[in-house]
Structure 1
Amino acid sequence: MAFRSDRPDIAPLELPIHDAVLATAERHAEIPALVDGVTGESVSYAQLDTGSRRVAAGLAEAGVRKGDVVALYSPNTIAYPVALYAATRAGATVTTVSSLATVKELTGQLRDSRARWIVTVSPFLAAAAEAAGVLAQEGQPIQEIFVCDRAEGHRSLTDLLASTAPEPQPRIDPATDIAVLPYSSGTTGLPKGVMLSHRSVSSNLFQTESMRRTEPGERILAVLPFFHIYGFTALLNQPLRSGSTVVVLPRFDLEQFLRTIQEQRIEGVFAAPPMILALAKHPLVEQYDLSSVRYVLSAAAPLDADLAEACARRLGLPRIHQGYGMTELSPVAAVMTPDDPNPPCGTVGKLVPSTELRVRALDGSGKDLGVGERGELLFRGPQVMRGYFARPSETDAMIDEDGWLHTGDVGCLDERGYLFVVDRVKELIKYKGYQVAPAELEALLLAHPQIVDAAVVGVRGEDGEERPKAYVVRTPGSALTGEEVIEYVAGQVAPYKKVRAVEFLDAVPKSVSGKILRRELRDRARQTR
């Protein structure tokens, strides 16, 4: 059987992302849209709207055309949305790149997405230039690297803002044209470009705001990264569509985070579980006035119910809200409403409008399960991605012929329509809300001359956090140590992808077909913890 949201259906929002977000900018013209939480500099809605239009003109004058891919490689800044909406106004697709990416990872994403342009910040220029150099040698040149701030020899957003060229008017088909191309590992494998159309992103904003939305002038703290689909949606598109004020921090530092809440009188905090843990237990919290906070919403990874209760109690809130989604769902499938008087403990909320859910049995029978029965979660709705870029077979494995997206997550729906997510059948590791693909780390390990086989799984510590652990088979006679393995991987990946523990085996357990038996390794980790 298929479950449906108990909310009235919505018609898909047939708007380009920039129009869906900034359509009401004129109404909120003088309200600060963005505030730099470090310097206090602000950008009004009028400046954001006008700025994105003029920068779009500058990009078009530089040669950016409909269908081009622009890589946005930057930490959180108040210039980030200007670059984002300017690129989509010019008709381009934006691929958001992790601000923690290594040169190798950046090069791989630029290559795979077929990016032709880069927008970055001056501290990242060396990495961007090195990646561009590699691609040039491969015959896939980057046309130009722009900067959000200033750097000698590179045009900045300010330079583009001064363009007198006409604003571009590309013909965008919201249903088919790709607005953003974030990278996700999906249920398994290496990171892949997730094709999110303008319609899927815009419709998901419409779906979500019917259940919870911020208010004009409401102050939201943006510390989660904009390149991640959670931050991209919850901290940029949704609050800016509502006329709220987004206070931007470049990274999570607990003291700065708390000070900004106090000084900026933050009302809404969107968090990941590690931040909830800090708010619940760190002694530094007691030194700051957090009384302005009206709600906290946690997503990106499972949140322990006891931890959520402890955090809510310490902040004097009725509860910590949760939501559920994934990049491939643009991203929201379920969310808690702020006015719900009695949600059950541990729920991630109810399905957003126009969303269908099937709970499929895990025994391989393909049977649909009923209320309260646990199985793999399958979703269908206007927010489902168009597919993985240039990967039809992976797309077919993720979305079936009837349009159901197979999440690889295990959960159930109760009799009141509340969704619970309890486990994962997929291989993906979630470390502090970031996606870590075991296959990517395994490929690196297998390139080591003293490693003949390897497997990586997520192992939960006593704090409930999942960390990548490598099981390694050394070459005969090798004296390779666990510390050397950790350092080898750390030198080639972003910090959140690092292997945190190593165990040496005589052989990696595998099935007859050669598939790694990860459950055996997870069971082994639990027994030896």
Structure 2
Amino acid sequence: MANALNFTMGGLLEDIARRFPDNDALVYPDRGLRYSYRQFDALTDRVAKGLLKLGVGKGDHVAIWATNVPEWVVLMFATGKIGAVLVTVNTSYKSAELEYILEQSDATTLFLVQGFKDTDYVATVGEVIPELQTSQPGKLDSKKLPFLKNLVFLGGGAPAGMLAYDEIERLGAQVADAELAAAKAALEPHEVINMQYTSGTTGFPKGVMLTHHNIINNGFNIGECMKFTEKDRLCIPVPFFHCFGCVLGVLACVTHGSAMVPVETFNPEAVLKTVEAEKCTAVHGVPTMFIAELEHPAFRKYDLSTLRSGIMAGSPCPIEVMKRVIRDMNCSEITIAYGQTESSPVITQTRTDDPIELRVATVGRALPDVEVKIVDIETGASLPPGKQGELCTRGYLVMKGYYKLPEETARAIDAEGWLHTGDLAVMDENGYCKITGRIKNMIIRGGENIYPREIEEFLYSHPKVSDVQVYGVPDRKYGEQVMAAVKLKEGDSCTEQEIKDFCRGRIANYKIPYYVKFVDEYPMTASGKIQKFKLREMAIQELHLEEAAALETA
């Protein structure tokens, strides 16, 4: 790579703080919080020292279960400075999902907020870790989670068994500068620094291991595609636990000395207000977010004249929405990005100066130093332009692998280093790609990836369910909704509500089937394979979703 940034996370932040010390780094207008890059660098040093004092060191796994609070960004760099691996936890998760991730990731430390939407995180942690009530902060001894020692509460007044976040900085005061310097010096850019969980066809989430080098260079190239400089100010309403928030958001900014202006939990008016108040030049979002902003009754009253760019991604982008964002939000240089967690995450992106038809109808071309090819699903042979096949990518962006899952890793990355995305695409002669479908029937609902197998496995545990098939059906607002075709056990009866109630509180709300249909049989191939695409076609007719199905996306 000719232009690779060869930094660790700490090295990157120190370099930017030297070059743009007085630039805004992190701004939360509603909290009255504003850190310059100099202040932000110093703060992350203090928190990094506190982590060392807590016993967290290189290679340890630190989980964070929180909305877009300031501490999230601080911890991303504080863990990065000492080589601890940040494990990001989806804010919508419930008890079973949290327990699985804490166990599978071998997390030693968990940072958490009080809760989000209808989930009380503190109560949920209490369910998963009953020993917490009677344990001393920092000395947890959990039968189910033997690695987990520290729970740190992001908020005032720590619950039983937890340490308050403020304590971390105070602990850091007891650590010498030389100790932090030694920890930083022991790091290398190709070491794993970030672990994000992505579900798979196996039905259980897999920990994608990403290095300093993976995410810093991906963030830098993403920012380059938006023509970012130290004068840009990005409104970030997408969640940090996704690569969309922490790479396309945080790292696209930090690699350019730009200002990060997060929105803690998405609210369309909060985004409009933030853009106006902070004169943001760019804004990110999944299509549903942009739709909610454009359709907000107060949309016209906000001044969005400073906007120029940003990214729409996370799920297929309706062409009409893209045009409205360009026209009505002043985002004349908005871009579309495509990728997946396993590729740090962006593989292709449109450029600010691409003609409008390419910017609304494709997901762009490969980022610099990234190879992309389309291969035949049956033979694996490379296909010429205009032919549909599986999109594969190779380069600095490919993950180290899935944590503790070598066979899964070998299935995803072939012997020549190509990552197989599982997505169907067509590439034109200039390298611009259109995503045309998914080999494995993944559902993308409002930017959330949902894997049918995971929900199917869960619904099989219902006492009345004999068989279940989960698939996506078109939806105007979210792109897709989850539908379940359920076969009941002989002699049992059940209602749609009963199935939904069984899911509530046990799996994330966005995974709960929106539609439930009871069936006696499934459409099959001659060899006995269930045809989910036929179930989808039937649902489109029965539920009159033809209009949603016809929406054109890139």
TM-score, L = length of structure 2: 0.88
Task: Choose which of 127, 131, 134 in structure 1 pairs with 2:124.
Answer: 127
User: Which position in structure 1 is the counterpart of 2:144?
Assistant: 138
User: Which position in structure 2 is the counterpart of 1:254?
Assistant: 268
Give deviations 1:265-294, integer Å, cap 9, x for gaps. Answer: 222111101012224444432232222222
C-alpha displacement at 1:367, in angstroms?
A: 2.5
What is the one-letter code of the residue matched to 1:78? P
Question: Are 1:39 and 2:40 an aligned pair?
Answer: no
Secondary structure of the structure 2 residue equivalent to 1:79: helix
Distance 1:361 1:77 in 2: 44
What does 1:36-435 correspond to in 2, within 5 Å? 36-123=28-115, 124-133=121-130, 136-138=142-144, 140-152=146-158, 154-162=162-170, 163=172, 164-166=174-176, 167-168=179-180, 169-170=182-183, 171-175=186-190, 177-186=191-200, 189-318=203-332, 320-341=334-355, 344=358, 345-362=360-377, 364-435=378-449
Q: Which moved more, 1:303-312 or 1:121-130?
A: 121-130
Give deviations 1:115-168, integer Å, cap 9, x for gaps. Answer: 111112244333334434478122515211113333236433432223230243
Secondary structure of the structure 2 residue equivalent to 1:408: strand
Distance 1:205 1:317 in 2: 20
What is the one-letter code of the residue matched to 2:370? T
Unaligned runs of at least 5 residues, structure 1: 1-8
User: Which position in structure 1 is the counterpart of 2:16?
Assistant: 24
Give deviations 1:347-391, integer Å, cap 9, x for gaps. Answer: 2122111111111124x1323111122211011111101111111
Change (3 A) 1:56 1:160: same
Distance 2:152 2:477 in 1: 42
Distance 1:38 1:226 in 2: 18
Secondary structure of the structure 2 residue equivalent to 1:136: coil
| RMSD between superposed Cα atoms in Å | 2.2
Distance 2:405 2:88 in 1: 18
Distance 1:429 1:342 in 2: 28
Distance 1:357 1:368 in 2: 10
Secondary structure of the structure 2 residue equivalent to 1:49: helix
C-alpha displacement at 1:346, in angstroms?
A: 0.8
C-alpha displacement at 1:442, in angstroms?
A: 0.8
**8 Å Cα contact 1:297-1:322 kept in structure 2:** yes
**8 Å Cα contact 1:213-1:239 kept in structure 2:** no
Unaligned runs of at least 5 residues, structure 2: 116-120, 132-140, 544-554
Secondary structure of the structure 2 residue equivalent to 1:291: coil
Distance 1:419 1:520 in 2: 27
User: Which position in structure 2 is the counterpart of 1:6?
Assistant: none
Give deviations 1:451-510, integer Å, cap 9, x for gaps. Answer: 111111111124462011111111222221012112221321222222111011113456
Distance 1:494 1:155 in 2: 27
**8 Å Cα contact 1:398-1:406 kept in structure 2:** yes
Question: Are 1:478 and 2:475 an aligned pair?
Answer: no
Change (3 A) 1:254 1:317: closer
C-alpha displacement at 1:257, in angstroms?
A: 2.1
**8 Å Cα contact 1:309-1:319 kept in structure 2:** no
What is the one-letter code of the residue matched to 1:146? V
Secondary structure of the structure 2 residue equivalent to 1:373: coil
Q: Give the number of aligned pairs.
A: 519
Change (3 A) 1:295 1:88: closer
Change (3 A) 1:215 1:319: closer
C-alpha displacement at 1:187, in angstroms?
A: 6.0
Change (3 A) 1:33 1:140: same
**8 Å Cα contact 1:222-1:248 kept in structure 2:** yes
**8 Å Cα contact 2:223-2:253 kept in structure 1:** no
What does 1:502-521 correspond to in 2, within 5 Å? 502-509=516-523, 516-521=530-535
Change (3 A) 1:368 1:411: same
Change (3 A) 1:343 1:156: farther
Change (3 A) 1:185 1:99: same
User: Which position in structure 2 is the counterpart of 1:3?
Assistant: none
Give deviations 1:291-328, integer Å, cap 9, x for gaps. Answer: 22222420111101122113322224446420111100
Q: Which moved more, 1:388-397 or 1:17-26?
A: 17-26
What is the one-letter code of the residue matched to 1:75? T
**8 Å Cα contact 2:288-2:477 kept in structure 1:** no
Change (3 A) 1:513 1:12: farther
**8 Å Cα contact 2:235-2:261 kept in structure 1:** yes
Change (3 A) 1:442 1:159: same
C-alpha displacement at 1:13, in angstroms?
A: 3.6
C-alpha displacement at 1:219, in angstroms?
A: 1.8
What is the one-letter code of the residue matched to 1:126? A
Structure with more relative contact order (C-alpha pairs < 8 Å, separation 6 or more) = 1
**8 Å Cα contact 2:314-2:448 kept in structure 1:** yes
Q: Which moved more, 1:368-377 or 1:150-159?
A: 150-159
**8 Å Cα contact 1:17-1:202 kept in structure 2:** yes
What is the one-letter code of the residue matched to 2:175? A
Distance 1:186 1:255 in 2: 34
Secondary structure of the structure 1 residue equivalent to 2:110: strand
Secondary structure of the structure 1 residue equivalent to 2:483: strand
Distance 2:207 2:395 in 1: 20
**8 Å Cα contact 1:148-1:156 kept in structure 2:** yes
Q: Which moved more, 1:38-47 or 1:445-454?
A: 38-47
Change (3 A) 1:263 1:23: same
Task: Choose which of 461, 465, 479 in structure 2 pairs with 1:447.
Answer: 461
